[in-house]
Amino acid sequence: MRGFNSMTWRLALPCSVLLLACGDAGNSSDSTSNSSTGQPSTTVDPTTPPTTSNPTTGVSVSDSDTTAGSNSNSESNGTSSGSGDPTTTTNSSATTTSASTTDNPGTSSTSGVSASTSGGESSTGKVICEPGDGMGMGMVEKSFIWIPSQDLSDVAKVNTQTMVLLARYKIGAGGDSPSRTSVSGDGRFVIVNSRQTGRSTMVAANIEDCVDKNNNGKIETSQGPNDVLAWGTDECILWDKQWPYAGGFAAGPRGTTWTPGTWDYDLCQYVDPKVWIGYSAPGGVAHFARVAVDGTVEETVMVPGWNGQGYSPYGGALDPEFRPWMAGLRGEFIRINTDQNPITVDRFTPPGNTQGYGFTVDPDGNPWFAGCGGAVSTYDTDTMQYTSIPGTNACHRGIAADEKYVWAAANGPCGLVQIDRATNTLIKFHNTNPCSTAIGVSIDAEKYVWLVDQEGWAWKIDPRTSRR
């Protein structure tokens, strides 16, 4: 398994950031356990009202997130270029709840280790390593991409190195419409969000993290692409959680991002990762739940008046200070300030022509939006300026960033957009053959770009053959 101490990723960050990251304030001690009902137990009103500005432009767009997954490629409101005005931003203390609810208790523990993080010293008082030490070296041992199928209610596990489809897992009884998947930093755990049923399902990537639930001395789990066990019988499904969502397809969980957890100086790696999951609760309130690997809901941040065209938070990503960002469909985006106590939320309203669909945060901490229909755009968190990339105008879908480039799936025409994120310029529009509906984009552990096509395949793309 690829661990944090054997990754090939490279990034230099100031030490102050590292120390802040080690603290992972989002994992602070306010996550007390006081409920087992699956519902948040307490509510605290925000100290200031949220922004209510509306960024929509009157562009006519079709439902872009239907169960069938179809979208209209005819959407277009023109390509904008240049920099926009500073965003509308509101900072408020988030409504948060702290609760401890565990579904299917008795599943595996996170790591079986105790984090001893005390000022850069190990439990023996000896300085061993800091985050980043020893990284950038070594070989990737395992790397997977997890591709959900909305019509089959399953998720496929593909080895990104061998390109072999290794297993498929049912994530619900059927009609779940799973969409967003998100992988923990150590690659061990995967969350799958089901839009229709309002449920999230946790999958263990490695057999050693699966649980012998029927105590027969072995792990029953999928052994191949055509070996799909019935729902509830695959023992690499750790748990599933029904969210108290508003009901219906639009409100189900979507946007998600993991945090790496806390730094363990003895182990020289992060432990106890958390995953943030966004869904829509009744009354137009977006909920962002922080969930432990064992299924415990440790905290829920509530954002009233969510602006996302009636859909739950659409996308999520983490910034270098380990703060989750979540974006609404063609609406607002937020930063959950987990480095503050109590947690606050910054709400941003982008220019109307952003038309944000796919969302990510690049290694420098700047959000990117895949416009549909519109341009690929970015928000500079230092200058508070928006920039739309000239030459990009389509219904863009998923988006991902690596060290140098931003990659966005595009429909109409179908393909992959490559952007130089240092100069904010379009490098190239890449075609694939075949190309039906390019939709998901991710970067694997060896920095290959993956483009998932809705029609039933994925492309592994070597970005080194497409540089200037």
Partner 1 sequence: MARRPGGLGLEDRPENVPAMKQVMVPGSHYVYSDMTGGQLNSILPQ
Interface with partner 1, residue 238, by CB under 8 A? no
**Residue 294 near residue 110 (C-beta atoms within 8 A):** yes
| 350 versus 367: smaller Cβ distance to partner 1 | 367
Between residue 104 and residue 163, which ones bind partner 1 under the rule CB under 8 A? Answer: 130-132, 135-136, 143-152, 154, 156, 158, 160, 163
How many C-beta neighbours within 10 Å does residue 208 have?
10
How many C-beta neighbours within 10 Å does residue 425 have?
12
Interface with partner 1, residue 439, by CB under 8 A? yes
Interface with partner 1, residue 425, by CB under 8 A? no
Interface with partner 1, residue 423, by CB under 8 A? no
Interface with partner 1, residue 251, by CB under 8 A? no
Between residue 313 and residue 342, which ones bind partner 1 under the rule CB under 8 A? Answer: 314-320, 322
Between residue 7 and residue 66, which ones bind partner 1 under the rule CB under 8 A? Answer: 7, 9-13, 17-18, 21, 65
| 302 versus 409: smaller Cβ distance to partner 1 | 409
Interface with partner 1, residue 239, by CB under 8 A? no
| 79 versus 179: smaller Cβ distance to partner 1 | 179
Sign (positive or negative) of CA dihedral 128, 132, 138, 139: positive
| 187 versus 295: smaller Cβ distance to partner 1 | 187
**Residue 101 near residue 299 (C-beta atoms within 8 A):** no
**Applying CB under 8 A, what is the total number of residues that bind partner 1?**
109
User: How far is residue 409's CA from residue 417's CA, in Å, rounded to a whole number?
Assistant: 6
User: How far is residue 301's CA from residue 278's CA, in Å, rounded to a whole number?
Assistant: 9
Measured CA distances, 274 to 24, 194, 294, 295 (Å): 10, 19, 10, 10
User: How far is residue 45's CA from residue 94's CA, in Å, rounded to a whole number?
Assistant: 8
Candidates 358, 367, 374, 412; binder of partner 1 (CB under 8 A) is 358
Query: If 0-12 CB within 10 Å is exposed, 13-18 middle and 19+ buried, where does residue 117 land?
Result: middle
Provide the minimum distance between the beta carbon of 317 and partner 1 in the complex, in angstroms, as a whole number: 5
**Residue 100 near residue 296 (C-beta atoms within 8 A):** yes
Candidates 326, 389, 394, 401; binder of partner 1 (CB under 8 A) is 401
Provide the minimum distance between the beta carbon of 187 and partner 1 in the complex, in angstroms, as a whole number: 6
Interface with partner 1, residue 181, by CB under 8 A? yes
Helix or strand holding residue 19 (H, E): helix 15-23
Provide the minimum distance between the beta carbon of 301 and partner 1 in the complex, in angstroms, as a whole number: 19
Provide the minimum distance between the beta carbon of 18 and partner 1 in the complex, in angstroms, as a whole number: 5
Provide the minimum distance between the beta carbon of 76 and partner 1 in the complex, in angstroms, as a whole number: 20
| 239 versus 450: smaller Cβ distance to partner 1 | 450
User: How far is residue 254's CA from residue 278's CA, in Å, rounded to a whole number?
Assistant: 6
How many C-beta neighbours within 10 Å does residue 149 have?
17
Between residue 189 and residue 208, which ones bind partner 1 under the rule CB under 8 A? Answer: none
Residues 6+ apart with CB under 8 A from 208: none
User: How far is residue 321's CA from residue 259's CA, in Å, rounded to a whole number?
Assistant: 10
| 144 versus 243: smaller Cβ distance to partner 1 | 144
**Residue 238 near residue 108 (C-beta atoms within 8 A):** yes
| 24 versus 235: smaller Cβ distance to partner 1 | 24
